[in-house]
Structure 1
Amino acid sequence: MFVLSKIFWLIVNPANLFTFFLVLGTILLFTRFRRAGRLIVGSAVGFFIFLALVPVGLWLITNLENRFPTNPAIPADIAGVITLGGTTNQRITVARGQPALTGGGERLTELVHLANRFPYARLIFTGGSGAITGPLLKEADSARLFFNQMGLSDRNILYEDRARNTYENAILTKKLVGDDATRQKWVLITSAAHMPRAIGVFRRAGWNVIAYPVDYLTVGSSHSEIRFRPLQGMSALNQALREWVGLIAYSIMGRTSSILPSPRR
């Protein structure tokens, strides 16, 4: 299922589809199917202009990011903090010898913040590799390097290094700490747009964690995102569709508590 999901996204990724049809249409322009080529190229260019003028991706992301409150109140007696992978580039980390943070790096920095704020809380990082071929380094190894540099080497952080997706994050982390953890107060850190899917999976696993969203991509109001930025629009649409498709797929497979989780359900 993991490999199939990777192949499926490779095919339906909007940026890949745009590139494929643009190249296909251009090739057809030099054949007897030039009329079809003009139609395909025109449609691809029109789609690109549409994304430049109408920030559909940012609107979709805003709806996800606003699902859970920013900087939520955290009880003083929390048992621990969990942060999900999707934070580092393992190849660059290996090549350069220092942790290379990606767009989701706030997942790591906020764990450091909460670790200092709650010195007795247990800390968990969960993340193996989302690569099909196998990485040079697990994400947990990159995170360990980062946390050591931040002075957390003496906090005895637990590292779960086998999870390849959000579902495995929840299942394997629960196995790591035991069923008793589900009766305690735990905080979950992940990107705001990813939080609904992550919360749904943890709840489905019987673990009602406290959502602590980070790594925001929008300011929170849809009307303020109207700008002429086609590349940003394409990137936002990619990320938005990944999350929405993930929510629908997990709902169909019975891996989430609801199709669009919220603080109340």
Structure 2
Amino acid sequence: MDTAFFLASKLAWFIVSPSSVMLVGLALILLLLRTGNLRLARRAAAFLLLALLPVAFFPVGEWLLFPLESRFPANPVLPERVDGIIMLGGAERAGHSSVWRQPEFTAHAERPMAFIALARRYPQAKLIFSGGSGRLVDRDYREGEVARMLFAQIGPDPAGVTFEIASRNTVENALYSKRLVSPRPGENWVLITSAAHMPRAIGVFCALGWPVIPYPVDHQSWPGHLLRLDLNLGANLAELDSAVHEWAGLVSYAVTRKTPAVLPRPCNAAASATQP
């Protein structure tokens, strides 16, 4: 995987994230005040306030996440034979786990929960955890080591799991995992990741010729309650950051031909049968 693409994607995300835009806006207002441009400073402050008000009062991030999270059905009907199960990392707090010497997770721990449940349901399936470190610094802490600690405590046996811990992003998740297990044509592999991330992940796996079955978890949107008053600027801004991150990732992956489309469809026959 190209290091330049990795660094460019990190920089691009910093630039387009709503939190960063808000920070830049505050810095611009301060600069205008210090240079005596009071009229422009007032206009910039008013514009920033008007942009933040909807985010403070409404779940704007959920409005953007819902189309992604509803792209593939939750709790899909799986075939009787499952040859392998893949979980993408992302919920593990590797640095914290190393310091506190216990598995620490973010609020998105549904990924390992689903992985453990499916591993028990399909005991003969090959198991893969794919996740290294997507950080620019402190890359010695790997998501896979957190998963290994968790599995040692509650299963499945880590000796029966293939750990891919070199990847930095979704493309490398798929590429390095495929090299490790060499899936055969006709095999049924199930992919577990967050529902909002699933479209991009499916597109990457399909582009690499690995037709996995999507098993989305960790839904953040609340269907039927999207038009609600929700006064929580911090949480709403975090959700908006996540939504913009996924949409920006989908566009950039499609433009660089790492996925076949901005909103990919599943390429597995079993998954396509349940696709609306």
Which piece of structure 1 moves more, 61-70 or 36-45? 36-45
Match of 1:207 in 2: 210
Which structure 1 residue ranges, 5 or more long, are not aligned?
Answer: none
- Pick aligned residue for 2:146 from 137, 142, 150: 142
Cα offset, 1:61, TM superposition: 0.1
Match of 2:269 in 1: none
Aligned residue type for 1:169: N
What does 1:123-202 correspond to in 2, within 5 Å? 123-153=127-157, 156-180=160-184, 182-202=185-205
**Structure 1: which 4+ aligned runs deviate by more than 3 Å?**
221-226, 262-265
Asked whether 1:101 is paired with 2:105, we answer: yes
Match of 2:120 in 1: 116
Aligned residue type for 2:86: I
Tell me, yes or no, if the aligned pair for 2:62 and 2:222 is still in contact at 8 Å. no
Match of 2:263 in 1: 260
Identical positions, percent:
39
Cα offset, 1:27, TM superposition: 4.4
Matched residue SS, 2:219: coil
Cα offset, 1:155, TM superposition: 5.4
Asked whether 1:56 is paired with 2:91, we answer: no
Asked whether 1:41 is paired with 2:49, we answer: no
> Using the alignment, how far apart are the partners of 2:164 and 2:108 within structure 1?
18
Matched residue SS, 1:78: coil
TM-score by length of 2: 0.90
Asked whether 1:14 is paired with 2:34, we answer: no
> Using the alignment, how far apart are the partners of 2:95 and 2:77 within structure 1?
37
Q: How many corresponding residue pairs?
A: 264
TM-score by length of 1: 0.93
Residues 225 and 82 of structure 1: CA distance in aligned 2, closer, same or farther (over 3 Å) = farther
> Using the alignment, how far apart are the partners of 1:229 and 1:196 within structure 2?
28
Tell me, yes or no, if the aligned pair for 1:58 and 1:222 is still in contact at 8 Å. no
> Using the alignment, how far apart are the partners of 1:42 and 1:106 within structure 2?
40
Which piece of structure 1 moves more, 32-41 or 115-124? 32-41
> Using the alignment, how far apart are the partners of 2:124 and 2:174 within structure 1?
22
- Pick aligned residue for 1:241 from 233, 244, 251: 244
> Using the alignment, how far apart are the partners of 1:167 and 1:211 within structure 2?
16
Which structure 2 residue ranges, 5 or more long, are not aligned?
Answer: 267-271
What does 1:49-88 correspond to in 2, within 5 Å? 49-88=53-92
Supply the RMSD in Å over aligned alpha carbons.
1.7
